[in-house]
Chain A
Amino acid sequence: MGKPSDLVQGTLDLLILRTLSWEPMHGWAIANRIEQVSGKVLLVQQGSLYPALHRLKEQGWIASSWGESENKRKAKFYELTQTGRDRLEAERQQWDRLSAAIQMVMEQA
């Protein structure tokens, strides 16, 4: 996964859900956190981030509210809902299976 644009939609959703599972965050912080944690390999562009956030919200997996950020700025914070937590668990297992499968294929080749 070299370029951020290679991030497939489902994967970005998974990353966002996982990131929000630690604590509620606003959009910029989410992108920043993913970038930091992935060692700057995964760069999330705003053109992908905000559509994804809004889609996840429409699906009821995350909820949003306005709050004050650490910089004392007004910002919209997102947090996981209960169905979002269940979803994360399911997606995570799915991911484990898929990556294990890919891993096996790669090792064999």
Chain B
Amino acid sequence: MGPAVGGHPNGDGAGVMGDQRDRDLNEELLAHLAHEIDQRIARGETPAEAERNARLAMGNLTQVAEQTREAWRYSFLPGIWQDLTFAWRLMWKSPVFTLAAVASLALGIGANTALYGVFSKALLDPLAVREAGDLYQLTVRTMEDKPGEYTSSFSYPFIQEIEKNATTIDAVSCTAGSRTSYRAGNATRILTVELICGNLFDMLGLEVRVGRLMNASDNKTAGSHFVVVLAHHFWVSEFGSNPSIVGQKIELNRQLFTVIGVAPKSYASLRKGSAPDVFLPIVMDGVLSGEASDTTSGQSWWIRVMLRRKSGISEQCMNAELTAMRHNNWDRYERSEASDYAKKVAASAVVEVLPAARGFDAAQRAAEYEKPVQLLMAVVGIVLLIACINIANLPLARAAAREREIATRLAIGASRGRLVRQFLTESLALSMLGGLVGLLLSMALERVLMLEAFGKSSLLALGDGPTVDVLVLTMGLSLLTGLGFGLIPALTADRQGIRTSHRLTGRKLMVSFQVALSVLLLSGAGLFLQTLENLRRIDSGFRRENLISMAVSPKPGGRSKDSLLGYYRNLAASVAQVPGVEGVSLSNLGMLSGSQWSSGLLVAGVVVPPNEPGALRNAVGPQFFTVIGANFFEGRDFVEADNRTTAPKVAIVNESFARRYFGSGSAVGRRIGRGARPGMNDQPDHTIIGVVKNLRDSKLVGQADRYWYVPIEQQERLGTVFLNVRTRLEPVGMMAAIKKAVAELDSSVPISRERTMAMAVEEQIGQERLAARLSAFFAGVALLLAVVGLYGVMAYTFERRTREIGIRLALGEARHRVLSRILGEALVFIGLGVVGGVPMAMALGAYAEKLLYGVKPIDWVSLSVAVLAVTLFGALAGAITARRAASIEPMAALRLD
């Protein structure tokens, strides 16, 4: 008899249950209509009239049904929407409170998320390859290795042997780092290369999108496979992601290589954090070095090896088989020329396969970063804790204003559960908002952290943007803080509203705790800042001001040894002509480049123990020590005449070298030489002509090692050399002119790693700078948050005591006494915090000792500055409250309520 009441346009409650429910409602409303009509007929209306009037009275049936369905919708989460809009209105109405709370949380959560994101990407996440859990790195340990140390380099013949004979593995593959010059148009520059065994991409199960990946047939004969696979980031930046690059040729080391494909974006390198530009077959190594290929030598150990375990085989089985193979291999290639000591070392060799799901040397990397990571995690954790205390305390500070609202709501029948829910909704809304802002913050922070901690290439290698587990972590943290700290005020609400004792001792002790944590972070920051400053001022034994270093790689030009030496001489001469240049000298290893090179050693008249690590060595040009500003203990610098292949062999040693082998006697005139290499008939044929003060010329920090220097032209293998340029003018501005002079000499020679010494120092102290900056930043944040917390609680106390203060003032108490009592109270709680914070700060110092440089773990300067800053800012917060209290008009205060 009646029309249909309509479907459910909003799709709510669709499905069988929903349809049933809709039909039910429809019937119910039609029954209502029928009853209305019945009644009207009974009253004497005609059926037609009755139906018309009933419909009029009932109004729009569809609308009634719609309104009723709304009731179902809310029934799932009754009133949540109301709570949310209410919470939103409250937040909007007190922007300062909201800002303080949201900013507290955003900083706390953002910092935690960013740090977790960085370290999970850099250290924890497995490689994005097929069954990463089955990958193992091949390493070998001998009696010479200390615990935790191992050798990870192997010869190519050994790898081929493993591939052919090993039964405990599914596959073996390899990588080695290298560099190449790359010509694009007129510019030549240096690219980083990963030399790989042909089956690497297959073994890792990588899928190709563009072109094809390398396979075993691309890596057969030394020097004859001119193919290259581009790294994804290089393809994007250099070729604008153009797929038609496949099949074209690019020029590497003056040779044309055919691009066969592009590696997938998910794969950068087996060494986490590095991002090579191109992948080449490892048998092409000779084309890059300009020498014979090392892949044919059983004595060259230079390749990292990755294994895939055969399923069901234990690590012990692999170790046993590979150890035996290692001994066979050594016997075949090295035994005939080895010394007795070397035989003893070789006999002790044991192969150990290391799980490599996270790439090569994962455990070592993790250990290296363990302490800084723990410390930073602790720092950001503390910041979050301080923020949480604020989230718990700040609503309380506002509660005074809401007391009446809550009392009213209780009076008109709000249940306690309902109030608890309201509080929870509010704190959850706050924390979710904080979490959201925190997430945005963490994304920015993560990039900065990644860059500072692991360098530019890490962004390419590890990618940026939040991962799923980081998102889960952020939301989890937000929920936890919201729940945890919303429950406390919620549960203390009762019939009288939010019940709080007037003295609020617990709350104030929490503020004291915040103060203590601030002292801890501030003094920690002091330690790291001083460390950083000390490192920047470190005496490296040479003058770092106005000193430029850059690498020049003429080798790929296919020059003969003689023309190479001629090039070096011309290079030094033309750079010396650049206006503003005071002096130029070449060196084989760059200043503060972090690279070192050691070799065995013979000292005439001294028995060097066979197990003594080789001395460090560098080859340098004439006037090198004068140019860099080093000091001589005795003897002289190299001169032009020393720097000839035909000149008598001479050497300069450092102080540590002289002390170790010649004690307090003079070293000048003594003879030294490279250590007994198999088949080389080495003699101590270099005469020492000078002793220099120890230089920290490769690394800033670390023990001064024994060092010897030889003239650069007497060096056997030379390729890339470093220009060391002393300028009269500001060095950064000089860089371009110097590069121009190099290019004018030969534009095909690539220049790389150009930097001033100040830049080189900053590169070396990246970790310390990160620690100092982060700890200073977060200590500032912590202090700010603690002061906000202190102010909040003080303001609340004051609000509660307005009447009391009014009475006191009315009775004639002097305003300054009111002021000083409130200020005094604030100071008591700050003092408590300081007393608690100082021992914590001392403990932190002791824990962080290894990360400090030139600072005692218990550093009174840092501690005093921290205590002073906390007290000052805390007192300021107290003073603002106290001033407000003291300026109360007694009558106004008494009229309240």
Q: Identify the A interface with B (CB < 8 A).
A: 10, 26-29, 32, 45-48, 50-55, 58-59, 69, 71, 73-76, 90-91, 94, 98
Evaluate contact between A98 and B412: CB separation under 8 angstroms: yes
User: In whole Å, how far is A17's beta carbon from the nearest beta carbon of chain B?
Assistant: 13
What is the chain A residue whose CB lies nearest that of B36?
A: A28
A73 and B31 in contact (CB under 8 A), knowing A51-B70, A58-B72?
yes
A50 and B59 in contact (CB under 8 A), knowing A73-B34, A94-B412?
no
Evaluate contact between B32 and A46: CB separation under 8 angstroms: yes
What is the chain B residue whose CB lies nearest that of A48?
A: B67
What is the chain A residue whose CB lies nearest that of B65?
A: A50
Evaluate contact between A29 and B68: CB separation under 8 angstroms: no
Interface residue? B78 (CB, 8 A): yes
Q: With A and B bound together, what is the CA distance between A27 and B78 in angstroms?
A: 23
Q: Identify the B interface with A (CB < 8 A).
A: 24-25, 27-29, 31-32, 34-36, 38-39, 58-59, 63-65, 67-68, 70-72, 74-75, 78, 412-413
Q: With A and B bound together, what is the CA distance between A58 and B71 in angstroms?
A: 8
In the assembled complex, which residues on chain B have CB atoms less than 8 Å from the CB atom of A98? Answer: 412
Q: With A and B bound together, what is the CA distance between A76 and B38 in angstroms?
A: 16
Evaluate contact between A27 and B32: CB separation under 8 angstroms: yes
Evaluate contact between A46 and B28: CB separation under 8 angstroms: no
A59 and B31 in contact (CB under 8 A), knowing A51-B68, A54-B68, A94-B412?
no
In the assembled complex, which residues on chain B have CB atoms less than 8 Å from the CB atom of A46? Answer: 29, 32, 58-59, 64
- Starting from the known contacts A46-B58, A54-B71, A73-B38, 13 additional A-B residue pairs (CB-CB under 8 Å) come to A27-B28, A46-B59, A50-B25, A50-B67, A51-B70, A51-B71, A54-B68, A54-B72, A58-B72, A58-B75, A75-B31, A75-B35, A98-B412
A47 and B71 in contact (CB under 8 A), knowing A26-B31, A73-B35?
no
In the assembled complex, which residues on chain A have CB atoms less than 8 Å from the CB atom of B67? Answer: 47-48, 50-51
What is the chain B residue whose CB lies nearest that of A71?
A: B38
In the assembled complex, which residues on chain A have CB atoms less than 8 Å from the CB atom of B27? Answer: 74, 76
Partner of B35 from A28, A52, A90, A91 at Cβ < 8 Å: A28
Evaluate contact between A74 and B63: CB separation under 8 angstroms: no
User: In whole Å, how far is A109's beta carbon from the nearest beta carbon of chain B?
Assistant: 20
Q: With A and B bound together, what is the CA distance between A10 and B68 in angstroms?
A: 16
In the assembled complex, which residues on chain A have CB atoms less than 8 Å from the CB atom of B39? Answer: 32
Of the A-B pairs whose beta carbons lie under 8 Å apart in the complex, a sample of 29, sorted by A's number, is A26-B32, A26-B35, A28-B36, A45-B59, A46-B32, A47-B59, A50-B25, A50-B28, A50-B71, A51-B67, A51-B70, A51-B71, A52-B71, A53-B68, A54-B68, A54-B71, A54-B72, A55-B75, A58-B74, A58-B75, A58-B78, A59-B75, A69-B31, A74-B27, A75-B31, A76-B27, A91-B413, A94-B412, A98-B412
Q: With A and B bound together, what is the CA distance between A100 and B29 in angstroms?
A: 37
User: In whole Å, how far is A57's beta carbon from the nearest beta carbon of chain B?
Assistant: 8
User: In whole Å, how far is B92's beta carbon from the nearest beta carbon of chain A?
Assistant: 25
Q: With A and B bound together, what is the CA distance between A92 and B65 in angstroms?
A: 29
In the assembled complex, which residues on chain A have CB atoms less than 8 Å from the CB atom of B36? Answer: 28
Q: Is the interface of A mostly helix, strand, loop or mixed?
A: helix
What is the chain A residue whose CB lies nearest that of B74?
A: A55
A29 and B75 in contact (CB under 8 A), knowing A51-B68, A91-B413?
no
Q: With A and B bound together, what is the CA distance between A51 and B73 in angstroms?
A: 11
Q: With A and B bound together, what is the CA distance between A30 and B392 in angstroms?
A: 48
Evaluate contact between A76 and B28: CB separation under 8 angstroms: yes
User: In whole Å, how far is A2's beta carbon from the nearest beta carbon of chain B?
Assistant: 18
In the assembled complex, which residues on chain B have CB atoms less than 8 Å from the CB atom of A50? Answer: 25, 28-29, 64-65, 67-68, 71
Q: Which of B59, B70, B413 has the most CB of A within 10 A?
A: B413
In the assembled complex, which residues on chain B have CB atoms less than 8 Å from the CB atom of A94? Answer: 412-413
Which 7 A-B pairs rank lowest in CB-CB distance, beginning with the nearest? A58-B75, A28-B35, A54-B71, A50-B68, A55-B71, A51-B71, A94-B413
What is the chain B residue whose CB lies nearest that of A29?
A: B35
Q: Which of B35, B72, B75 has the most CB of A within 10 A?
A: B35
In the assembled complex, which residues on chain A have CB atoms less than 8 Å from the CB atom of B413? Answer: 10, 90-91, 94
Q: With A and B bound together, what is the CA distance between A58 and B68 in angstroms?
A: 12
User: In whole Å, how far is B69's beta carbon from the nearest beta carbon of chain A?
Assistant: 8
Q: Which of A10, A28, A59 has the most CB of B within 10 A?
A: A28
In the assembled complex, which residues on chain B have CB atoms less than 8 Å from the CB atom of A91? Answer: 413
Q: With A and B bound together, what is the CA distance between A45 and B68 in angstroms?
A: 12
Q: With A and B bound together, what is the CA distance between A51 and B58 in angstroms?
A: 14
A59 and B58 in contact (CB under 8 A), knowing A50-B64, A74-B27, A76-B28?
no
Q: With A and B bound together, what is the CA distance between A51 and B75 in angstroms?
A: 11
In the assembled complex, which residues on chain B have CB atoms less than 8 Å from the CB atom of A90? Answer: 413
What is the chain B residue whose CB lies nearest that of A75?
A: B31
In the assembled complex, which residues on chain B have CB atoms less than 8 Å from the CB atom of A29? Answer: 35
User: In whole Å, how far is A9's beta carbon from the nearest beta carbon of chain B?
Assistant: 11
In the assembled complex, which residues on chain B have CB atoms less than 8 Å from the CB atom of A28? Answer: 31-32, 35-36
What is the chain A residue whose CB lies nearest that of B58?
A: A46
Q: With A and B bound together, what is the CA distance between A55 and B70 in angstroms?
A: 9
Q: With A and B bound together, what is the CA distance between A45 and B29 in angstroms?
A: 12
User: In whole Å, how far is B367's beta carbon from the nearest beta carbon of chain A?
Assistant: 59
Q: With A and B bound together, what is the CA distance between A32 and B412 in angstroms?
A: 28
Evaluate contact between A47 and B35: CB separation under 8 angstroms: no
User: In whole Å, how far is B72's beta carbon from the nearest beta carbon of chain A?
Assistant: 6
In the assembled complex, which residues on chain B have CB atoms less than 8 Å from the CB atom of A47? Answer: 59, 63-64, 67
What is the chain B residue whose CB lies nearest that of A58?
A: B75
Q: With A and B bound together, what is the CA distance between A76 and B68 in angstroms?
A: 15
Q: With A and B bound together, what is the CA distance between A11 and B528 in angstroms?
A: 66
Q: With A and B bound together, what is the CA distance between A32 and B24 in angstroms?
A: 21
What is the chain A residue whose CB lies nearest that of B32?
A: A28
User: In whole Å, how far is A54's beta carbon from the nearest beta carbon of chain B?
Assistant: 4
In the assembled complex, which residues on chain B have CB atoms less than 8 Å from the CB atom of A53? Answer: 68
What is the chain A residue whose CB lies nearest that of B61?
A: A46
In the assembled complex, which residues on chain A have CB atoms less than 8 Å from the CB atom of B28? Answer: 27, 50, 75-76
Q: Which of A29, A32, A55, A69 has the most CB of B within 10 A?
A: A55
Q: With A and B bound together, what is the CA distance between A24 and B67 in angstroms?
A: 23
Partner of A74 from B31, B64, B75, B412 at Cβ < 8 Å: B31
Q: With A and B bound together, what is the CA distance between A67 and B28 in angstroms?
A: 11
In the assembled complex, which residues on chain A have CB atoms less than 8 Å from the CB atom of B71? Answer: 50-52, 54-55, 58
What is the chain B residue whose CB lies nearest that of A27?
A: B32
